[in-house]
Structure 1
Amino acid sequence: MIEITADMEAIIKQAILSFVATVNEDGTPNLSPKASLTVRNGVLYFADIASPRTILNLRRNPAVEINVVDIFQRRGYRVTGRGSILSPGNEEYLMIADWVRATNGPEYPVDHVVKIETTSITPLLSPAHVFAQPPRSQDEIRRTYYQKYTV
């Protein structure tokens, strides 16, 4: 399993929304937004709150890819790995379910928790980082996108 660094964890917390891709039965991609992606003890998890297709796909094929990008920093990470489905009663399931409910409210259903065994993590950088001449600092990029999104 690839280590989740402090920077990766910070991006996940700041971005809030991530996108999880799984493989449908016919081989086409299934992309599902997740606001429950989190890191605990160096391990990546997300909750199945309303993701029956994601869970069905992972039962058939555990391949998963996750993209998480902080829209203001214009950078993030692509995580590739294998998802294992944790059911209610599992200690790790309870840890994530408790966090989801504490964060969002007790009415949030957590049908399953998915634990990701990471096999690859690569940085994602927007052209704002790659092509700007002269290069801009992270603070300059953040200010630009705060203005762009009127934050």
Structure 2
Amino acid sequence: MSTDFTETEHAVLCWLATSDAQNRPNVSPKEIYAQTGETQLVIADIASARSVRNIRANPAVCVSLIDVFLQRGRKLEGHAEIIAPDDPEFSQLAAPLLAMTGDAFRIRHVISVRIERSSRILAPSYLVRPDRSEADLRADACRLYGVRPPSD
């Protein structure tokens, strides 16, 4: 299983998809996350009451990480576990998240995702116009979004 995150190094959000006990889907952005092992991703629960509730009812999740400028990323499928502050693992799992946030956000729980499948996400332009370079894709995205290119 490839969990190479280098193609998503400029992703600023990940999208966590969950479903409740009645299989009603929910997707929400998460801005504080870190890969902590070959098959583990941790996500900060800052304001994720519905995601937490859904994971407790149905731990199957899907996480998308996309570099919007290169229009590619990773889809991670697996099972999540909610780690509360009183859990012995909380401090260790929250450490990389706290390193990102400092005291800007209170982390209510850590959502620990055990990655079971990983696959690439590619915009249709990769298939329709395979001759496009990364520089072309980045320039097009910057024009589309009205932003300056990110510095590498």
Per the normalisation by structure 1, the TM-score is 0.85
In the TM superposition, what whole-angstrom CA distance separates every residue of 1:76-107 from its partner, at most 9, and x where no partner exists? 11111000111214465324434333423414
Would the alpha carbon gap of residues 147 and 101 (structure 1) be closer, same or farther in structure 2, given more than 3 Å must change?
Answer: same
Would the alpha carbon gap of residues 14 and 51 (structure 1) be closer, same or farther in structure 2, given more than 3 Å must change?
Answer: same
Alignment partner, residue 26 of structure 2: 30
Residues 8 and 72 in structure 2, CA contact (< 8 A), matched pair in contact too = no
**Structure 1 position 46 matched with structure 2 position 43:** yes
Residues 69 and 75 in structure 1, CA contact (< 8 A), matched pair in contact too = yes
Q: Which amino acid is 2:58 matched to?
A: N
Q: 1:21 aligns with which of 14, 17, 21?
A: 17
**Structure 1 position 126 matched with structure 2 position 126:** no
Distance 2:135 2:93 in 1: 32
Alignment RMSD (CA, Å)? 1.9
Alignment partner, residue 96 of structure 2: 99
Q: 2:139 aligns with which of 120, 136, 143?
A: 143
Specify the SS of the correspondent of 2:62: strand
Specify the SS of the correspondent of 1:101: helix
Distance 1:128 1:91 in 2: 46
Residues 62 and 84 in structure 1, CA contact (< 8 A), matched pair in contact too = yes
Q: Percent identity?
A: 28
Q: Which amino acid is 1:66 matched to?
A: V
Residues 21 and 29 in structure 1, CA contact (< 8 A), matched pair in contact too = yes
Structure 1 portions without partners, runs of 5+? none
Q: Which amino acid is 2:26 matched to?
A: N
Specify the SS of the correspondent of 2:44: strand
Residues 22 and 57 in structure 1, CA contact (< 8 A), matched pair in contact too = yes
